[in-house]
Amino acid sequence: MKGRRTIAYFQIDKNPNKILTTEEDFLRFAESLYRSALDYSHIVEICISKTRYSTALFSIAAFASELFLKSIVSIRLQKKWMGHDLYDIYDILPEDDKEYIKQTHPCSNIKRMDFELELKETGKAFEVLRYHHEKKDLAFNAVFILEFMTTVRAFCQQSLKELETDGKPTPPLTTACCQNVAN
């Protein structure tokens, strides 16, 4: 397919989706998801240090989490997941991956045994928070969302590195964004 040109359309919804068939296709897709999620997570970290907390900020954090999880799904299962629910995406992961995410999540304001319940309760954060103005009242665990974002970011990064080096898992990275909200 060298030299083959693709057509892009100004009407954004008319642009064709990627076709994923090979292991290399899924890896490239996972890397693309990771880079997008990283961009969104950086926006969250910049904003959290400079602005007041807002539902928009947590919506972006939930969306970044979704993209990191979808990247992990692409790496581990060679599937393209549709949908936004964080718990649904997490739930299709292999048990070892789910356990690793659960054990490495800081759980600074919940009990570890309540991790999956909290993820179920906040799983639709991106869908709900972007339309927060339609809700009469809204409550959610902001700290959990930020900690989840940093946890799945580190696991996604680690998963991509393992494909390159076949190395042993490394501990997740931590960032200051969670400490800022927790304090």
- What is the mean pLDDT of the segment spanning 32-42? 95
The amino acid that residue 86 corresponds to is L
Other beta carbons within 10 Å of 165 = 8
For the whole prediction, is pTM greater than 0.75?
yes
The amino acid that residue 70 corresponds to is K
Residue 168 has pLDDT above 80, yes or no: no
Closest CA to 159 of 75, 33, 70: 75
Question: How does residue 98 score in pLDDT terms, banded at 50, 70 and 90?
Answer: very high
Given a contact cutoff of 8 angstroms between Cβ atoms, the answer to whether 49 and 179 are in contact is: no
Q: Which domains occur in the chain, in start order? A: 21-182 (1.20.120.330)
Residue 44 has pLDDT above 50, yes or no: yes
- The pLDDT score that the predictor gives to residue 157 is 96
For the chain, the distance separating the N- and C-terminal CA atoms, rounded to the nearest angstrom, is: 54
Residue 16 has pLDDT above 90, yes or no: no
Distance CA 16, CA 43 (A): 27
- What is the mean pLDDT of the segment spanning 118-122? 97
The answer for residues whose C-beta is within 8 angstroms of residue 31's C-beta and 6 or more apart is 71, 160
The answer for residues whose C-beta is within 8 angstroms of residue 124's C-beta and 6 or more apart is 84, 85, 86
The amino acid that residue 36 corresponds to is S
Closest CA to 18 of 74, 84, 59, 65: 74
The answer for residues whose C-beta is within 8 angstroms of residue 72's C-beta and 6 or more apart is 30, 93, 97, 152, 155, 156, 159
